[in-house]
Amino acid sequence: MREDDPLDADDRALVAKLKELPPEGSEPDWQALEAAIRAEVGDDAPRPWWRNWRWIVPVWVLATTAVVALLVMRGGKPVEHQAVVGPGRLDAGVVESPAPAAATSAMWLDGEAVELDNVDGSALDELDGEARAALAPEGDVTGGILPVADYGWIDTLDDEAVGVAEDWLKRKRS
């Protein structure tokens, strides 16, 4: 008995008597038991569960790398999101946009669009002349064809036209 047992002499005697007791029952054939255990468990040491899943780490790394590479190759362009349309409203919700027309130059003239590419060059010269006439001091500029949203055209005027315009403004103020 070990030293840390808090027992007196009688207790120790009893414990000694208990230790001398033969084991209960009849012991089995140990070799047969060992063989039975061996037959039951097999010859291969079992693997921990995570060893069966250890392929998942390299696969995950590869997949992540592939996704990152794909994003980098696409130049980081934002993905265009399409509006989600409910299944029953698919036909009604889709609005087909018209095919883009070829680049053309057109202008609005007297209530109708005029394709400049289709207009004869002489007619354009005629229009140009009419425009210059409209800038004449007697003309009504506000009712003419001058664009009101873009004043860049002022830079294209020659000194004579600018002088005419200034005279008109002076008259307008007075």
Partner 1 sequence: MQALALPALLERVNETSDPDRELAERFRSGDRSAFDVLVRKHQKGVWRMVRRYVKRDADAKDVTQLVFVRAFKGLGAFRGAASVRSWLYRIAINCALSWIRDHRREQPTEITEDSLTALPVAPGRIADDQEGTRLRAAIALLPPKQKLVLELRVFDDLSFKEVAELADCTENTAKVNFHYAVKKLRDILGGSDARG
Our CB check for partner 1 shows the closer of 47 and 89 to be 47
Say whether residue 94 binds partner 1 (CB under 8 A).
no
Q: How far is the CB of 21 from partner 1 (least distance, A)?
A: 5
**Nearer to partner 1 among residue 1 and residue 154 (C-beta):** 1
**Hey, which residues between 6 and 25 contact partner 1 (CB under 8 A)?**
6-7, 10-11, 14-15, 17-19, 21-25
- Distance between CA atoms of residues 11 and 17, nearest Å: 10
SS3 state of residue 113: strand
110 binds partner 1 (CB under 8 A): no
d(C-alpha 116, C-alpha 105), whole Å: 6
**Residue choice 38, 54, 74, 132 for contact with partner 1 (CB under 8 A):** 38
The nearest distance, CB 58 to partner 1, in angstroms, is 21
Contact 85, 76 (CB under 8 A): no
Residue type, 128: D
Closer to partner 1 at the Cβ: 9 or 83?
Answer: 9
Residues 43-72 that bind partner 1 (CB under 8 A): 43-48
Residue bearing tokens 């873009």: 150
Examine residue 158 and tell whether it contacts partner 1 (CB under 8 A). no
Query: What does DSSP assign to residue 81?
Result: P
Q: What count of Cα atoms within 13 Å lies in the side-chain half-sphere of residue 72? A: 6
Task: Report how far residue 75's alpha carbon sits from residue 70's, in angstroms, rounded to the nearest whole number.
Answer: 9
- Kindly state the smallest distance separating residue 54's Cβ from partner 1, in Å: 14
161 burial level (CB within 10 Å; 0-12, 13-18, 19+): middle
Instruction: Using CB under 8 A, list all residues that contact partner 1.
Output: 2, 4-7, 10-11, 14-15, 17-19, 21-28, 30, 33-34, 36-38, 40-41, 43-48
